[in-house]
Every structure is written in C-alpha cells, then in structure tokens.
Amino acid sequence: MKIIAKIYCILMLQLLCVLFFSGKRIHALSYDYSATTECLAEPWRPHYGGGLIVNPEFDDGIEGWTVFGQGAIREGTSHNGNKYIIAHSRTQSLDSFSQKVQLEKGKFYSFSGWVQISEGSETVFVVFKTSDGKMIHGGKVIAKHGCWSLLKGGLLPNFTSVVEIFLKSKNTKVEIWADNISLQSFTKKQWRSHQEKSIDKVRKHKVKFQLNYANKTSLDTAIVSIKQTDSNIPFGCGMNQKILSSTDYQNWFVSRFKFTTFTNAMKWYSTEEKQGQENYTIADAMVKFSKQNGISIRGHNILWDDPKYQPEWVKTLAPKELRKAAEKRIKSVVSRYSGQLIAWDVVNENLHFRFFEDKLGENASAEFYNKAYQLDPKTAMFMNEYNTTECAIDEAPNAINYKKKLEEIRSFPGNADMLLGIGVQGRFGGDKPPDVAYMRSSLDILASTRLPIWYTEVCVGNGTNQAQYLEEVLREAYSHPAVEGIITFAGPESAGFKEMPLVDNDFKNTPAGDVVDKLLAEWKCKNLQLETTSGSGGSFEVSLPHGDYNVTVKHPGSNSTTSINFKVTKHLPLGIVNVEVGT
C-alpha cells in the first residue's frame, strides 16, 4: 500500500484584533496597557473596583481620604458630573491626599490611578509610607492639565504593616487631581496562575488537525505522533571570547541557546584600544561561530554613554575630535556587521549617563541612532538600560523617562521610519526578592509604545536565593506578551561568569543553571502521541508552543505511515493542518 501525504495549512494572515478601548473597566493582570499611551478627557473606571481602596471613585466625595503633609484637599467635579479629589495649597512635594491600607509580606500589589494637574505638565509619583517612616516609590507618570493620565505601579513588600499611600510632585505650584485609584493584592499562587495562562496564550497556539483519505472522507481511527523538531523560544545567553578556545563551552552553549549577545567583543574599547588601531579579530571569529551554529546575535554595543567605559584615548578628546571619532566608530562597526545581526544597542545606558550629550549636545544620541540606521536600515536599533524594570527608587531610567527618550530619538529628522527597540537589562540584586509587580507595571508602560521589548542582560546577584529569584524574573519576563526575547548575561564559571554562573568549572549545572534548563524544558513541547477514535471525524485540536514540528500518522492495520512538517508561529497563530492519506 502506497501512502501519499499532502499538507494544506489554512492560516490566518493577521492577528485577531483586541478591543483595547472598551470604555469599561480595565484589569492590571490582563496586560491591558493601551491606556498608558492616552491622556483621556474622562478617566476609566478603577481596576478591580478599587481593590483595597475605600471610595476609589470618589462617589462619596472625599470620604476615606485624609491630608498628607500640610496643604489641603477638596472634592472636584467635571462638567460631566464625574467626581475626583484635589490636593491644593501645597508647599512641599509630599503634600497630597492619602489613605491607609494594610500590606502583607509576600503578596504582590498592583497600583493604578488616573492623575491630572492644574497646569502644565509634571511628573507625579505614587509613594508608600511605612509605619517606620520609610518612603517607597511605586511608580510615576507624566501628568498634564486638561486630560487624565494613567499612573501604574507595583510593590512587593518585605514587611507586614499599615502604609499610607499618597501622590508626590516636586512642583508645589500645581494642584494634584486624582480619580479611580486602585490597589489590588495577589497571592503568589494567583500571580503564578496568571503567568501560566499568559504563557499559554502568548507563547502557544491552538492547531486543529484533520485526517482524511485521498477521497476526502475522514480517517476516524489513527495513531498520531507530534514531535517538536526546533523550538522557537526567544531565550539566549551572553557569550565571551573563551568560547573560541573551549569545546566544552561550545557544546554547552549550542545545545541550549539560539540567541546571544557578546559581552565585550564588539565594544569600542575592545575593537580600538588605541586610536586608529582597529582589531575585530575576536568579534569576527565569534560572529562566524554563531552563524555556523544558527545563533542569532544582538550587537552590543556601538557606543556607551558612561564616561567610565570609553576607550582611554576617547576621554580626553575635544568635542570636534570626539564627534569625528564617534562617527568613525559607528561607520566601522555597523558597516562591518550590517545585515548579520538582529539588533544594535546603539547608545548604551543613555538615561543614566550623558558623556556624549554633555560634550556634543542634547541630540547626540538621536544623531548617532540616525547614522547607524542609515548604515543598517533593516536591523532594529535598541536603547539598553538597567533599573527600568528592576526598582522604582532609581528615577532616571523609569519607564516614563524611557518612553520620553525614545520619542526624542524617533522625532529626530530622518528617524521616523526607524525600527526602534526597547532593551531592559534585568540586573536584579540577590539580597531581596525581585519586585515583579513593579516589573510588570513598567513593562506595561513600555509596551504601550508597541515596540519590541527584550530583556538583554538578565543577571541576579549572588545570594542564598539566587536561583529562586532568577526563576521569578524569567517567568515574569517570558509571560509578558510584549517581551519578544530574553538574554541572560551568564555562562560557564570557567569562562569568567562569576556573578551568576550557569555551570561550574566542570560544566556541571549550578542551581541557576538548573533553573534555566528546567524552564527551557518546560517551555518546549514534549512529544505527544494520540489515538483518534471512531466518531471523531478524524479531527482533533492541540495547543502547541511556537516552533517547528513533525507529525506522523499511522493507519491502524497497516505498517505504513504518513509524515509531514509544519510550523507554529506567533504571526500565524490559528490554523488547520490537513493530513491527506491515500492508497
């Protein structure tokens, strides 16, 4: 009996539209970040009905709210009759309205509220004051007069205590208006459940199989085996030059990862230690190795805004010579690897530092992005920052400031069509649990740009709970629908990765390495074997992670099999695989 197999995949060409602007209630754990881009005439209703907040919509005036600091508070009413609260007569940045709530150690807290100010445009923070007087920042927004902006934030307290929630603005001349304030708590179990549901939705898709004979009648009973031949997990690892001389390092890396960032090999101080003496030998060899093994490379980095990490000879250049040297550097490295990389970190950490801006003017970064874009127009040009999602206390790289810098780059002449990307490093300390509630709220804000987001240098500091904290970070990043890729800055201890080695000197897994391997296995598809039964019509449906697959169909009573290949991708999420079997 001869079996001829044909595959016909009927796939949707566009993703199904999501109705972001429902005009109804929005929910923080649903990743509904559309409103973070909007400044609305009327605020949306509070998440979760306000959660722990009393009188969140101010339907009962300002009942439940008290003055924080000096100043005063009063009720406001819009022309449509919507009520809100106003902090006025402010003399200190902390003068506001407040409410006390009980927080519990180990729970996640998601904050949101709609904010407006009486004039101009100002940054407004949400602050949690603990019983011992500590002030914990939980998020911020750039509020404007004449419309309502959504302030999103989060908190993972390491204490159980009553806190006061209030808003803060450094400009005491403005009144702070707020409406529809919410603080919702979640247990770890609830948070984890949502992560898993999101992964099922974002990283997998349902595929319907239809088994037919050549005459189009259904094949009711068959044994079906589905095997993933290549996963499409956007998960990678940093790589350094030690891989060129270590077979063990090479084998370990290639068996796990399809994405990388060179930790140092492409940086300016590595390729031009002395002015005019360029050497790309190591970088070239690492690119060659990566390409031979199907590993995609993020270009890191073209320039670095931190004065500390300039080549020594660059630090003393006068502005005119510095501009020439920077432009020469951009042309040299970008032209060399144009079309071979999936991304460029163009001006690294340009929210924390201002080396080029201080010497060359406020548009220095935007100009450099433009030059790189002209040389490699099909490759995404990324910003790359630390502490944007890691902690709220570091104001410089906050998601709001990140968006503002992106807009400055995009608005520079010639940059409008540039493919920009968001790089958040993910460098978490090992001394306390990662604040994944704040992490999520920051990602939501960044996601409102509709630009690709990558975790570019994930590393958790040394500590007793390093592996546990790493798993929490990776799960949160992977479950967020806007995160398109994750790179850990880690590797073998023998290659110099001391802070978070994944394998020891004998290439045996560390606890952190166990976490990575566990998650890679969990996020792949295990081999499936199913048996269709009489009455099924030869039809069944399974949810499969993105990747390449082989399906084998064995007809009962025959030793012959039909085997076909197919793909599941995020761009073509829903489809039918028809397996046609003839004799």
Helix (H), strand (E) at residue 123: strand 121-129
Active site residue 312: no
Distance of CA 120 to the CA centre of its chain: 31
CA angle 352, 355, 361 (to 5 degrees): 105
DSSP H helices in 81-222:
188-202
Q: Which of 457, 471, 476, 493 is catalytic?
A: 457
Beta bridge partners of 136: 128
DSSP 228-262: EEEE---EEEEE-GGGGT-HHHHHHHHTT-SEEEE
Whether 442 contacts 163, CB under 8 Å:
no
Render 363-385 in DSSP notation, one character per residue: THHHHHHHHHHHHSTTSEEEEEE
Query: Buried (b) or exposed (e) across 311-321, using 16+ Cβ within 10 A?
Result: beebeebeeee
Catalytic residue among 57, 175, 349, 580: 349
**Are residues 483 and 389 in contact, defined by beta-carbon separation less than 8 angstroms?**
no
Contact (Cβ atoms closer than 8 angstroms) between residue 112 and residue 105: no
SS3 472: helix
Instruction: Name the residue type at position 283.
Output: A
349 carries an active-site annotation: yes
For residue 510, give the DSSP letter: P
H helices then E strands: how many in the chain?
11, 30
Structure tokens at 220: 């009711």
Q: 319-337 and 364-375 helices cross at what angle (nearest 10)?
A: 30
Per the listing, tokens 């790189």 go with 372
Amino acid at 231: S
Q: Give Cα separations from 445 to 141, 238, 281 (angstroms).
A: 10, 27, 40
For residues 446 and 420, give the distance between their C-alpha atoms in angstroms, rounded to a whole number: 12
Question: In terms of DSSP bridges, do strands 547-554 and 222-231 run parallel, antiparallel, or are they unpaired?
Answer: antiparallel
Q: With 0-12 CB in 10 A as exposed, 13-18 as middle and 19+ as buried, what is 227?
A: middle
Planar angle of CA 139, 140, 145, nearest 5 degrees = 155
Give the H or E element holding residue 124: strand 121-129
d(CA 272, CA 302): 12
Beta bridge partners, 146, equal: none
SS (H, E, C) 57-81: CCCCCCCCCEEECCCEEEEEECCCC
Residue given tokens 């031979």 in the structure block: 292
CA distance 104 to 93: 28
Please give the positions annotated as active site: 349, 457
